[in-house]
Amino acid sequence: MGFETFVGLTLSGLTVGMIYALVALGYTMVYGVLKLINFAHGEIFTVGGYLGATFLIWIGIEDGIPLPLKILYVILAFLFSMILTATLGWSVERFAYRPLRKMTRIAPLLSAIGVSIFLQNLILLVFGVDPIIMPVAAIPEGYIPVFGANFRYLAVIIIVFSLILMGGLTLFIKKTRLGKAMRATSQDREAAEMMGINTNMTISLTFIIGSALAAIAGILVAMYYGTLKFDTGFLYGIKAFTAAVLGGIGNIPGAVIGALVLGLAENYGVGLKLGILAYFFILGLIVGLAYQFYFLPREARKKALFNLADRFSYDEGSLSKVKILNYCYYGGWISGFYFLFKERRDSLVRIHARQAIRVGFANTFLFLVTLIFFLNSNYKISSEWQNGITFLVLMLVLIFKPAGILGEHIPEKV
Partner 1 sequence: MKKTFKKEKLLKWSRINRQVLIGAVLFLAFIFPLFNLLGWMGMVWVRLGVKVAVFVLLALGLNIIIGETGLLNLGYIAFFAIGAYTTAIFASPRLGFHLPFWLLFLLSGFFAVAFGFLLGLPTLRLRGDYLAIVTLAFGEIVRITLNNWESVTNGPGGIPGIYDPVIFGLRIDNNFEYYYLTLGLIILCLILIRNLKNSRFGRAWNALREDEIAAECAGIHVSMAKLLSFMVSSLFAGFAGCIFASLQKFVNPQYFVFMQSVLVVCMVVLGGMGSIPGVIAGAIALDTLPEIIRHTFAFWLPSFLGEDFLTSFPPLLQNFLFDFDRYRMLIFGLAIVLMMIFRPEGLIPSRAWQRELHEIDPRLLEETQMIRFDLEEEEKDLEV
Q: To the nearest whole angstrom, how small is the minimum distance from the Cβ of residue 406 to partner 1? A: 17
Mark residue 227 as left, alpha or beta (left: phi above 0; alpha: psi -120 to 50; beta: remaining). beta
Q: Please, what is the minimum distance in Å from the beta carbon of residue 100 to partner 1?
A: 6
Query: By the criterion CB under 8 A, which residues form the site for partner 1?
Result: 36-37, 95-96, 99-100, 103-111, 113-122, 125, 234, 238, 241, 245, 358, 382, 384-385, 387-388, 391-392, 394-395, 398-399, 402
> Is the Cβ of residue 57 or residue 107 nearer to partner 1 in the bound state?
107
Q: Which is nearer to partner 1, 130 or 299 (CB)?
A: 130
End-to-end CA distance of the chain: 55
Q: Which helix (H) or strand (E) holds 215?
A: helix 199-225
Nearer to partner 1 by Cβ, of 76 and 107: the residue is 107
Burial of 86-121, coded b for 16+ CB within 10 Å and e otherwise, reads: bebbbebbeebbeebeeeeeeebbebbeebbeebbe
Contact between residue 96 and residue 114 where contact means Cβ atoms under 8 Å apart: yes
Task: Answer for the pair 329, 358: CB distance below 8 angstroms, yes or no.
Answer: no
Q: Are 350 and 340 in contact (CB under 8 A)?
A: yes
> Cα–Cα distance between 332 and 232 in angstroms, integer?
41
Q: Which residues, listed in sequence order, are joined to residue 130 by a DSSP beta bridge?
A: none
Residue closer to partner 1 (CB basis): 221 or 357: 357
Cα 272 from Cα 332, distance rounded (Å): 31
- 405 DSSP assignment: S
The nearest distance, CB 327 to partner 1, in angstroms, is 21
Cβ proximity to partner 1, 7 vs 107, nearer residue: 107
Task: Compare residues 121 and 364 and give the one whose CB is closer to partner 1.
Answer: 121
Q: Least CB distance from residue 369 to partner 1, whole Å?
A: 16
Q: How far apart are CA 20 and CA 243, in angstroms?
A: 7
d(CA 147, CA 93): 47
Give the span between the Cα atoms of 200 and 221, in whole angstroms: 31
Residue 39 CA to residue 170 CA, distance in Å, equals 24
- Is the distance from CB of 246 to CB of 397 less than 8 angstroms? yes
Backbone phi, psi, residue 182, to 5°: -65, -45
Name residue 27's amino acid: Y
Q: Which helix (H) or strand (E) holds 174?
A: helix 153-175
Q: Which is nearer to partner 1, 216 or 244 (CB)?
A: 244
Beta bridge partners of 228: 132
Q: How far is the CB of 398 from partner 1 (least distance, A)?
A: 5
Q: How far is the CB of 138 from partner 1 (least distance, A)?
A: 30
Minimum CB–partner distance for residue 238 and partner 1 (Å): 7
Instruction: State the minimum distance, in angstroms, from the CB of residue 249 to partner 1.
Output: 9
Look at residue 116 and give its three-state secondary structure: helix
**Which DSSP helix (H) or strand (E) runs through 300?**
helix 298-305
Closer CB to partner 1, 176 or 383, in the complex: 383
C-alpha–C-alpha distance, residues 235 and 135, integer Å:
23
Q: How long is the chain?
A: 414
**Shortest distance (Å) from residue 189 CB to partner 1:** 16
In angstroms, give the least distance from the CB of 297 to partner 1.
29
Q: Which is nearer to partner 1, 61 or 255 (CB)?
A: 255
Q: Quick one: 7 or 100, whose CB is closer to partner 1?
A: 100
